Amino acid sequence: MDEEVKTVLDYCETLIREYYRPCDLETCLITRIAELVHEWKKRKEIIEKQGREYTGAGLQLIFTDVLRAVDLAKHNSEKNNKPICLYLRNGLVRPYTQVGGLGKYFLSHLADVEKK
Instruction: For 17-42, write each residue's pLDDT tens digit.
Output: 999 999 999 999 999 999 999 999 99
Does residue 116 carry a pLDDT above 70?
no
Whether residue 82 contacts residue 76, with contact meaning beta carbons closer than 8 Å, is answered with yes
pLDDT exceeds 70 at position 8: yes
Is the model's pLDDT at 56 over the cut of 80? no
10: pLDDT confidence band, cut at 50, 70 and 90? very high
Cα 68 to Cα 1, 30, 81, 82, distances in angstroms: 24, 16, 19, 18
**For range 89-105, the mean pLDDT:** 93
List CB contacts of 92: < 8 A, sequence separation 6 or more. 25, 28, 29, 32, 101, 102
Measured distance CA(101)–CA(52) in Å, rounded: 29
Task: Answer whether 87's CB lies under 8 Å from 78's CB.
Answer: no
pTM: 0.90
Q: What is the mean pLDDT of residues 70-88?
A: 97
- Which band of pLDDT confidence, cut at 50, 70 and 90, is reported for residue 115? confident
> In 10 A of CB 111, how many CB atoms?
10
SS3 state of residue 21: coil
